[in-house]
Structures are given as structure tokens and as C-alpha cells.
Structure 1
Amino acid sequence: MKAIYPGSFDPVTNGHIDIINRASEFFDEIVVAVMINPKKQYLFSLEERRKLVEESFQNNKRVKIDTFEGLLVDYMREHNYRAIIKGLRTLTDYAYEAQMALTNKNLYKEAETFFIHSEEKYSFLSSSIVREVYFNGGSLSNYIPNHVEKALLEKIQ
């Protein structure tokens, strides 16, 4: 079965990578769908985000990368996907993601959302936290892969 893992990935974190790798043990193929959200201001361009995600999964043959703009369910319908994977860190995540799962199901009855709880060591981690720590001079070694940290350094200099 194929599944989709959508997100902004600005930047991709070790938490994202962990969820996707764990999910790939249960699904034949996972498309990591790097999205454009017109309400967000991104540090990295869509193509830069895509490239960073691709590099993160170069050794996992079950993971494919794509980009999209618009409703997730439209993308799913167009590509014949039914399964959505979402990582959960906190109860707040669950409340939001449960509402999104119900909305997606309402818009596309074939959509099923599978929740995977984050590892404890990533339960606080988000792209926003990474950017905040980075801009304030903190260490990112446990939060993002080396190639993402290098891209951050190049972007900010």
C-alpha cells in the first residue's frame, strides 16, 4: 500500500525523518509531499526544501519525494492515494490532526489517516524550534541532519 506524508519541511528535522522511516516499515511506498502553504513565509524555497528532504532519504528506497500546492485530498485523488501518515508529538498535535483527518475524510471518503507517535527524544521538535534555536546560536546537532545544518549556514550567511 502507498501512503503520503505531507508537510512544509522548513527545514526537515530528525523527527520527520524518524516518523517517515518508521512508517516505511509498514507501507510499500511513502511519498513525502513537500507543500506550499500561501499563509507561510518560508526560509527555504520549495526546491531547496525538496532537495533537503531527498538527501535525507537517499538510502530508503520506499520513500519518494514530490511537491504540491492546494488541498491534500486533491493531490491524493489525482495520484490514487488513500493513506495519510501524520506524526504526533503532543495532545495539541492530536487535536489539530484529528480535526484535519476528519476534514480530509469528509472531502475524500477514501482517505484514511494513520498516526505515528514521535519518539520521546523528538517529542518537542519542530521546524519552528529548529529555526529559533539556530537564529539564537544554539546547537542543532541532535535536531537535524548535517546536510540540513550546512544548508542553514549557507542560507543565513
Structure 2
Amino acid sequence: MKKIAVFAGSFDPFTLGHLDIVKRAAALFDELYVLLAVNASKKYSLSESARIEIVKKSVENIPNVMVESFDGLTVEFMKRVGAKFLVRGIRGSADVEYEQTVAWNNKNLYPECETIFLSSVPEHLMVSSTVVRELLKVGIAKKSDGNEILAKYVPAEVIPLLTFN
């Protein structure tokens, strides 16, 4: 029986921290779905299509990784694809508290769901989509060293795709 996992998030935008979790999770499972959360009530900086393109470009060289979007509960997507594992990245104690609550609720809704926590590697502890959005809002991409700075936060090949109006 295949071990299928899901790594879900808004990925607004996808960061090096996300990519590290994907690479490590892909080594643990036969199939890994990177699931782009779609929430009509949430305002994203990037469109759904842009976020999908960025994630696909970032993971294109990892053969057992698929990228999909889904408007609904993550556990409903997991049931649809036969996934029993949900991968979550942890950067610090605040993440642990939040993720434990989410894991409990997911288990309650889908008893077969096992949440797997992967700790962030030290070099990505402070990398977050929020920081990237802030850097882009202040125009870092337009500065002479903007790409060099952004490459510390996001996969270099997707920097040209990061345009916020």
C-alpha cells in the first residue's frame, strides 16, 4: 500500500522553508501532494494561478510530488486521494501549539489522519511568507540587490514570478 501524504498551505508565496519541508517529506512518502488552500474569504497577495505556478516551478524536479488546489477541508482532499498523512512544518513553540490544535481537529474529522511534524532547519527558522510579502510591499525587488535578498527567502527561479501590485 502506497504511503500518501499532503502538505497543505496558502503558500502566499512559497518559500525556501516550504521547499525544504517538501523535499524532506517527499523522501519519506511514496506520493506527496502539495495542496494549495483556497479560501474565498481570505485575501491573498498572489492569485491562485500565480501561487500554483510558483509552487509547481519550485517542485518540478521532485518526481513524487504533485501540486493541486482545493476549496474545502484538507481532510476531505486527503480522503479523495487516499492520503493518511498530513505534513506540517514547525518553526517554533507558537507553531507547535497551533498545529496541535489543528491536528486534533483533523483526527476528529478523519480518524485515519496522522499529522507528521517536521521541524524547520535552522537556516529557515525566520523565513515566512509574511516576511516575503512585506519585503515585496516595500519594493525590495526593485533594488539593485533585491534578487539577492529575495533568494534568501524564496526559490531563485520563482523570483521573477513574484509581483505584487
Q: TM class, shorter-chain normalised?
A: over 0.9
Q: How far 1:67 moved relative to its partner?
A: 0.7
Q: Which stretch shifts more, 133-142 or 67-76?
A: 133-142
Q: TM-score, normalised by structure 2?
A: 0.89
Write the distance in 1 (CA, Å) between the matches of 2:134 and 2:40.
21
Aligned length: 155
Q: What is the DSSP-based 3-state SS (H/G/I as helix, E as strand, rest coil) of the residue aligned with 2:150?
A: coil
Correspondence for 2:159: 149
**Partners of 1:151 and 1:79 in 2: how far apart?**
29
The CA deviation at 1:58 is 1.0
Q: Which residue of 2 aligns with 1:12?
A: 14
Aligned to 1:130: 132
- Residues 98-123 of structure 1: per-residue CA shift (max 9 Å, x gap): 10000000011000000000011111
TM norm structure 1: 0.93
Q: Percent identity?
A: 37
User: Given residue 91 of structure 2, which amino acid in structure 1 is its aligned partner?
Assistant: R
The alpha carbon displacement at 1:51 in A equals 1.1
1:104 aligns with 2:106: yes
Which segments of structure 1 move beyond 4 Å, counting only runs of 4 or more? none
1:75 CA displacement: 1.1
Distance across 2 between alignment mates of 1:19 and 1:82: 17
Query: Could you say what the CA RMSD is over the residues aligned between the two structures, in angstroms?
Result: 1.3
How far apart, CA to CA, are the structure 2 residues paired with 1:52 and 1:7?
13
Unaligned runs of 5+ in 2: 141-148
1:66 aligned counterpart, secondary structure: strand
Residues 13-56 of structure 1, C-alpha deviations (whole Å, 9 max, x = no match): 00000011011111111000011123321121111111110111
Contact 1:11–1:148 under 8 Å retained in 2: no
Contact kept? 1:12, 1:148, Cα under 8 Å:
no
Q: Cα distance, 1:148 vs. partner?
A: 2.4
CA–CA separation in structure 1 for the residues paired with 2:45 and 2:76: 26
Partner secondary structure for residue 55 of structure 2 = helix
Query: In the alignment, what sits opposite 1:22?
Result: 24
Which residues of structure 1 form unaligned runs of 5+?
none
